[in-house]
Amino acid sequence: MPVRDTGENQFAVSLNMFATLAAINAAGYDAGMDSALNEKFKLRTQLREILAKKTIPCLSELRAFYKEHKKPTDSADFGQYISFALVAGDAPKFAITTSENPPEVEGLNGFSELLARFYQEADIEGLWNRSQNAYTAAMAEYQDPVINALFEANGYLRNPSGYLGRRFQIYLDLLGAPNQIQVRSYRNDYFVVITPTSTPVVDEIRDAYFAYVLDPLTYKYSSLLKEKQVLLRYAADAPALDVAYKDDFSLLVTKCLIKALDSRLLHGNEEKRQAYVDQAMREGYILTAVFAELLQRYEHQPDALRLYYPDMIAAIDVKREQKRLKIQEFAQSAPVKIVAPPAKMMLDPAEQALQTAEGLYETGNYDEALKVFKSVSEQTTDKAMHGRAYYGLARIAVRQQRAGEARQLFQKTVDANPNPTLTAWSHVYLGRLALASKDTGKAITEFQSALSTDGASLMAKEAAQKDLDSTNSSSGEKHQ
């Protein structure tokens, strides 16, 4: 899936987004045109006026396409084109090249070709270049508060600088209806798209970042979540809760935890925080209270939240929460939010299996983890994913004291080279297995290979150096 403006936590603009939204504006997309925010930034109005004066041969086809694919709500109508802009290839072709795309993009079959023609006939590249001053001014208004909020969130989560191979990206566009926040999660990319807003959206963007961090954990620890899923039935009784959360326990768990995180980051006293939690519970976010309690424990221990997560899920006492929820009064409605309901995280089936297997491994369910790791080879031909599965199987073999099989699997991991960190750790394990069989020379070679693996994590290299120093020291003592 194509990505642009690389880097984590970036706040950027997108030519794909601009071209896509320019096309639907020309084709009849009028939502939000009466908003005063259009006058504030002016770009949408100016662009529509320019396009209206141009001779664009494909315009009649574009209008027919837009009318045929119009959705019943403005948010859904806008959202399908946002999804398209995020997954399409770069200008000028905007090709959809992958076979696994969001359903709303599949429904826009033929739009790539139309957009490519519109891009050339309307000189969208020239209009994009002329629009940069407007985007720069808008970005200046939004960027600092957003980046500060993400910095605060990262501090609370105790996150490292980023996740290997994953990206959180915010796009601002001025051609959509105001007061839109659209969140998408596609494989390793997490996107937030915003249009000009009449109220601050910092909290909503921070919540999207929390979801970016937490979503993969629901796959990783799905076995732990299943033990708590009986609580989902209480959410069904909450009239104000969006059906998306009633139908998917993992989405509900993540949203409740985000609500609890928001309560802990509120700038105010405990009374204000408790009032926020109580309101979330009334709206149907049924695990907010227990998560708010458990986060206070988290704050007094050293681990990052992603490491503390399984302990927190395991600590949910189902019977205690059932008693709490039996007397919980639910609100009939909730304040209207500008953020669109979430879509379930899109993961490749093999990636989902790897995440689930890792969670099973970390919780000590080695037999089940073994089955899931083995299933990866049936779901993908991707060599790197196979390497990650070998690495998981190798660690299980170590745990189950099958040293010979572990050696073979760690070597297969090295051969597949899934990523520098796993490759380096495989060398470390191979070195330790060699030491166990009294092959000091082989052990030293493996530790040195780990240290020379470009891009390996600091932790892997520190482990390799420590083991190498210990091995050399022991070897030297024996020769004295």
Task: Give the model confidence (pLDDT) of 327-355 as tens digits.
Answer: 999 998 876 555 554 555 556 778 878 87
260 Cβ neighbours under 8 A, 6+ residues apart: 277, 280, 287, 288, 289, 291, 292, 294, 295
Mean pLDDT (the chain) is 87
pLDDT category at 3 given cuts 50, 70, 90 is: very low
Give the pLDDT of residue 480: 46
- Confidence band (pLDDT; 50, 70, 90) for 466? very high
Q: Give the whole-angstrom CA distance, residue 236 versus residue 218.
A: 20
**pLDDT at site 448:** 94
Is the pTM here over 0.75, yes or no? no
Local confidence band at 477 (pLDDT 50, 70, 90 cut-offs): low
Q: Which long-range contacts (CB under 8 A, 24 or more apart) does 460-466 make?
A: 460/421, 460/424, 460/425, 460/428, 461/424, 463/425, 463/428, 464/424, 464/427, 464/428, 464/431
CATH 1.25.40.10 region(s) of the chain?
349-478
- The total of other beta-carbon atoms located within 10 Å of residue 9's CB is 18
Cα–Cα distance for residue pair 290/260, rounded to 1 Å:
8
In angstroms, rounded to a whole number, what is the distance separating the alpha carbons of residues 407 and 277? 50
With CA atoms as reference, report the closest residue to 25 among 406, 139, 56: 56
Over 90: is that where the pLDDT of 239 sits?
Answer: yes
Please check whether residue 23 is in contact with residue 121, taking contact to mean a CB–CB distance below 8 angstroms.
Answer: no
Q: What is the DSSP letter of 179?
A: S
pLDDT given for residue 330 in this prediction: 94
What is the structure's pLDDT at 5? 38
Name the helix (H) or strand (E) containing 172: strand 167-172
Handedness of CA 359, 361, 363, 365 (dihedral sign): positive
For residue 30, pLDDT beyond 60: yes
Dihedral sign from CA coordinates of 39, 78, 190, 362: positive
* DSSP secondary structure code for residue 69 in this structure: T
Closest CA to 91 of 116, 64, 58: 116
pLDDT digits (tens, 9 = 90+) for 169-216: 899 999 999 888 888 887 678 899 999 887 778 888 888 889 888 888
Other Cβ atoms within 10 Å of 403 Cβ, number: 13
Lowest model confidence (mean pLDDT) among 125-129, 274-278, 361-365: 361-365
Q: Give kind and range of the element (H or E) at residue 196.
A: none
d(CA 258, CA 254): 6
Percent of the residues in the chain that have a pLDDT greater than 90, as a whole number: 57
Dihedral sign for Cα atoms in the order 84, 85, 89, 91:
positive
Structure confidence at residue 96 as a pLDDT band (50, 70, 90): confident
Q: Residue 6 — pLDDT band, cuts 50, 70, 90?
A: very low
Strands 189-194 and 181-186: antiparallel
pLDDT for 472: 85
Distance, CA of 92 to CA of 126 (rounded, Å): 13
pLDDT of 59 reads 96
Which tokens is 462 given? 């520190």
The band of 1, judged by pLDDT with boundaries at 50, 70 and 90, is: very low
Cis peptide before 72 (omega within 30 of 0): no
Phi/psi at 181 (5° precision) = -130, 115
Q: Which CATH number fits domain 349-478: 1.25.40.10, 2.160.20.10, 3.10.20.30, 3.90.226.10?
A: 1.25.40.10
Q: What is the pLDDT of residues 257-301, one digit of tens each?
A: 999 999 999 887 889 999 999 999 999 999 999 999 999 999 999
pLDDT at 141: 84
Is the per-residue pLDDT at 75 higher than 90? no
CA–CA separation, 377 and 406 (whole Å): 18
What is the mean pLDDT of the segment spanning 389-410?
Answer: 93
